[in-house]
Amino acid sequence: MTMINSFLAEKGIYLLTFILLALGVAGIITCNNYMKKLICMNIMQVAVIFLFLCLGQKRGGTIPVALSGAAEAAEYINPLPHGLMLTAIVVSLGTTAVGLSLLLRIKEKYGTIEEDDLLYREKLLSMETQRTREKLKKQDQQSKDK
Amino acid sequence: MIESNLPVLIILSPLCAALICMLLTAIHRELGRAVVVLAVLVSLVMSVMQLRLVIDGGPIHYAIGNYAVPYGIELVIDSLNALIIVMISLIGFLTVLSAGNFSDRRPLVHGAANTILALLITGLLGMASTGDVFNLYVFLEITSLSAYCLIALGGSRGVVSAYRYLLVGTIAATLYLIGVALLYGATGTLNMGDMAEILDKGDHDNVMLLASCFLIPAFGIKMALFPFHGWQPSAYTHAEPGTRPLISGVMGKLPALAMFRYFYCIFGTDFVYVKYMMAVLGVFSVIGMLYGSIMAMWQSDIRKMLAYSSVAQISYISLGFAVGTPVALAGAFLHMLGHAFMKGGLFFCTGAVRFKYGTADLNDFGRLYKKMPLTGGLLTLAALSMIGIPPTAGFFSKWYLALGAAGQHEWIYIAVLVISSLLNAAYFFKLIEKLFIQKSSGIRERWSSRELELPVTLLVPIVVCFIAILGIGLCNAWIVDVLMMSLEGVGL
């Protein structure tokens, strides 16, 4: 029992982060709705942010702001992963914004964001363009014959 | 003053243009585009200066803002990425120049497209020159985000393929971040050179093994290597027509460069599992070379054919990494340079045909050489180069790859190289047959002029690509010498 306890105390957070990551990836693969896929993508990104924050953590460390009485580096947690993740959060914000605007355009053009419907409509669209192309070619031929 | 700050100025020039482009477009429709063209031209001139400096004086290490190196961000320019930076800025310049012919009528969309194009070039240049693993992530995402937008500008099909690319690309970025987290946790540094030294000293094989399990899929997705290529054909096909040469010609090469940096510069030969990782990469490339070529044979839309052929061509580069001797690596980098001009040139040509006749169907290409001699010439030369016929660039890169593989006694790789070249010949001769033999179909001209077959801005890229493909082929010894300056002692 103590072994499991100590394992969970030391590595448990990594296990949870991994589960979160796997949930996100699984969601992207299995969800049919594009909005849900986007949400799962965000969950996945949050998992990585947690992973980095775990790296910066240490027992007995305080926030990385210069305090009187704490002069040693050992007394502060590592601020660098936090800085990195600030950048990663901004990137994930940008990605989400682009994703949402793309979703808006998809909804505008196809009228749906369900993957099955979308595939069906894409097929219809390609058949239609082929038909119009053939029609145009026939018209060209006829005008030439005349 | 300029000379000592070259590495950062090359990246900053298109970035500044991107920032003011929208504003200037509001004043006058073409002003923003002109600034972007000028800025990329400035980058091109500076990158050539930088290449000369690197050849004369060895690698440049540039600390941004003068922060001491393991703490601040460092740009490292050796002869490999100096050449690649010249390639990016040249194709970037040509793309920006020709993209004006395909621009949207709405001024706001026109300005936005040019802004994003400048950002894409910034990201690519940054990815090539950075020496910091997290900085690489930031530039990777700048590149990817602008690529999503440019693909989405290509109409309703483009939006869907951009969205799919966004999901897959974000998974790749996340996997890359996990790899960085593992390496950072083990070494405590983000600088590539510093990380390589620390990994050298201690026993970090397990961390490196785990990290490379995340890094191979991450870069594999971004460069569209075989099992991870699902997003690529539709994205390349439906991207905004003016920007296709840059997206399909250059974008896949930079993750490959990053992969090289990780496996050969950071992990190095002391990583005991590197052989196994490279074997995995070799299997992927072998299957990819065959699969991409076979799929390309089925397509009747020329854009889709070229997109699938990219899957095969990118595998040549990873095959060079998988072999891992300096000669094979030089072949891989030569292929990176050559293929960028071949694929970029082919997309310039299809763009030109689309501009003049409004079609991208292979069956409409009948006797095109009469109507568009220069375009037909480049299509033929690029196709021959793809197959690998001397004295074009494609022959020599395959030659060095085969030479490297023979040195390692990897006969399977050579056999697949030859088979894949034959398959390339099958579908590129189809293109050449349509160009020269098939009867011309009744396609109508949309643009015509007495003196020129195309507007000057479309002719310049075609001529430059033509010269570049021949030039890389004929000067291959000089280029390989320059590449070898950095590759000596790097390989397996």
The model's confidence at residue B267, banded by pLDDT at 50, 70 and 90, is confident
**pLDDT at A37 (0 to 100):** 92
**pLDDT at B127 (0 to 100):** 93
**pLDDT at B155 (0 to 100):** 80
Q: Which residue would you say has higher pLDDT here, B342 or B275?
A: B342
In order, the DSSP letters of B399-430 are HHHHHHHHHTT-HHHHHHHHHHHHHHHHHHHH
The residue of chain B with its CA nearest to that of A137 is B442
Closest to B199 in 3D by CA, of B259, B144, B273, B258? B273
Pick from B157, B163, B173: which is nearest to A102 by CB?
A: B163
The model's confidence at residue B241, banded by pLDDT at 50, 70 and 90, is confident
All residues of chain A having their beta carbon less than 8 Å from the beta carbon of residue B237 are none
Residues 6+ apart with CB under 8 A from A71: none
A94 and chain B: CB distance < 8 Å anywhere? yes
CA distance B143 to B124: 6
**pLDDT at B391 (0 to 100):** 85
The residue of chain A with its CA nearest to that of B360 is A133
**pLDDT at B410 (0 to 100):** 84
Contact of B393 with B484, CB cutoff 8 Å: no
Pick from A45, A84, A102: which is nearest to B162 by CB?
A: A102
**pLDDT at B148 (0 to 100):** 93
Closest to B47 in 3D by CA, of B23, B14, B69, B21? B14
CA distance B382 to B341: 8
Other C-beta atoms lying within 10 Å of the C-beta of residue B357: 20
CA distance B433 to B436: 5
Q: Which two tokens stand for residue B296?
A: 């390309």
- Write out pLDDT tens, residues A9-43: 778 888 899 999 999 999 999 989 999 999 999 99
The residue of chain A with its CA nearest to that of B178 is A48
B166 and chain A: CB distance < 8 Å anywhere? yes
- Alpha carbon B233 to its chain's center: 15
CA distance B487 to B257: 13
How far off is chain B from A64, nearest CA to CA, in Å?
16
- Write out pLDDT tens, residues B58-109: 888 999 888 888 888 999 998 888 999 999 999 999 999 988 888 777 888 8
* A125/B156 touch (CB, cutoff 8 Å), yes or no: yes
**pLDDT at A139 (0 to 100):** 80
The model's confidence at residue B50, banded by pLDDT at 50, 70 and 90, is very high
Q: CA dist B286 to B279, B312, B315, B399, B474, Å?
A: 10, 9, 7, 17, 28
Other C-beta atoms lying within 10 Å of the C-beta of residue B108: 12
**pLDDT at B409 (0 to 100):** 87
Closest to B360 in 3D by CA, of B221, B157, B162, B223? B157
Least trusted range by pLDDT, from A112-126, B193-207, B328-342, B356-370: B356-370
CA distance B426 to B157: 29
**pLDDT at B492 (0 to 100):** 60
**Residue B75: strand, helix, or coil:** strand
Contact of B7 with B129, CB cutoff 8 Å: yes
B181 and chain A: CB distance < 8 Å anywhere? yes
Mutate to test the interface with B, among A46, A51, A102, A103 (most CBs of B within 10 A): A102
Phi, psi dihedral angles at A73 (to 5 degrees) = -65, -30
CA distance B469 to B472: 5
Sign of the torsion angle spanned by Cα atoms A54, A55, A59, A60: negative
Mutate to test the interface with B, among A35, A78, A98 (most CBs of B within 10 A): A98
Residue B49 confidence (pLDDT) above 70: yes
- Write out pLDDT tens, residues B145-159: 999 999 998 888 889
Q: CA dist B117 to B28, B120, B146, B398, Å?
A: 18, 5, 7, 31
Residue entry with tokens 């593989």: B405
Pick from A45, A98, A118: which is nearest to B174 by CB?
A: A45
Q: Output helix, strand, coil percentages for chain A, rounded to the nearest 5.
A: 80, 5, 15
All residues of chain A having their beta carbon less than 8 Å from the beta carbon of residue B173 are 91
- Interior/surface letters A50-69, b for 16+ CB within 10 angstroms, e for the rest: bbbbbbbeeeeeeebeeeee
Other C-beta atoms lying within 10 Å of the C-beta of residue B265: 18
Sign of the torsion angle spanned by Cα atoms B288, B290, B291, B293: positive
Q: Classify residue B351 as exposed, middle or buried by CB count within 10 Å of its CB (0-12, 13-18, 19+).
A: buried
Pick from A99, A125, A144: which is nearest to B163 by CB?
A: A99
Least trusted range by pLDDT, from A81-85, B40-44, B100-104, B466-470: B100-104
A123 and chain B: CB distance < 8 Å anywhere? no
The model's confidence at residue B354, banded by pLDDT at 50, 70 and 90, is confident
CA distance B351 to B375: 10
**pLDDT at B491 (0 to 100):** 62
CA distance B50 to B85: 9
**pLDDT at B168 (0 to 100):** 93
The model's confidence at residue A58, banded by pLDDT at 50, 70 and 90, is confident
The residue of chain B with its CA nearest to that of A139 is B442
The pLDDT of A42-60, averaged and rounded, is 88
Contact of B185 with A55, CB cutoff 8 Å: yes
**pLDDT at B242 (0 to 100):** 85
* Ramachandran bin of B358, using left for φ above 0, alpha for ψ from -120 to 50, beta for the remaining angles: left
Contact of B91 with B143, CB cutoff 8 Å: no
Phi, psi dihedral angles at B63 (to 5 degrees) = -95, 120
Beta partners for A17? none
B139 and chain A: CB distance < 8 Å anywhere? no
Mutate to test the interface with A, among B130, B142, B177 (most CBs of A within 10 A): B177
CA distance B199 to B186: 8
Q: CA dist B39 to B20, B21, B111, Å?
A: 11, 11, 15
The pLDDT of B132-154, averaged and rounded, is 92
- Interior/surface letters B156-166, b for 16+ CB within 10 angstroms, e for the rest: bbbbbbbbbbb
Q: CA dist B387 to A12, B392, B413, B437, Å?
A: 54, 10, 17, 19
The residue of chain A with its CA nearest to that of B71 is A80
Beta partners for B75? B62, B130
All residues of chain B having their beta carbon less than 8 Å from the beta carbon of residue A109 are 156, 159
Mutate to test the interface with B, among A91, A129, A140, A142 (most CBs of B within 10 A): A91
Residue B423 confidence (pLDDT) above 70: yes
Contact of A79 with A61, CB cutoff 8 Å: no
Closest to B314 in 3D by CA, of B243, B392, B397, B237? B397
**Which residue type occupies A97?**
A
Pick from A41, A48, A81: which is nearest to B167 by CB?
A: A41
- Alpha carbon B102 to its chain's center: 22
A115 and chain B: CB distance < 8 Å anywhere? no
All residues of chain B having their beta carbon less than 8 Å from the beta carbon of residue A93 are none
The residue of chain B with its CA nearest to that of A37 is B167
* B156/A140 touch (CB, cutoff 8 Å), yes or no: no
In order, the DSSP letters of B229-293 are -TTHHHHHHHS-GGGHHHHHHTTTHHHHHHHHIIIIIII-TT-TTHHHHHHHHHHHHHHHHHHHH
Q: What is the mean pLDDT of chain B?
A: 88
DSSP secondary-structure letter at B361?
Answer: B
**pLDDT at B8 (0 to 100):** 92
**Residue B63: strand, helix, or coil:** strand
Q: Which residue would you say has higher pLDDT here, B215 or A129?
A: B215
**HEC readout, B84-135:** HHHHHHHHHHHHHHHHHHHCCCCHHHHHHHHHHHHHHHHHHHHHHHECEHHH
* B170/A37 touch (CB, cutoff 8 Å), yes or no: no
Residue B490 confidence (pLDDT) above 80: no
* B141/A95 touch (CB, cutoff 8 Å), yes or no: yes
- Write out pLDDT tens, residues B431-489: 888 888 877 776 677 777 767 777 888 889 999 999 999 999 898 889 988 888 888 76
All residues of chain A having their beta carbon less than 8 Å from the beta carbon of residue B174 are 21, 44-45, 47-48
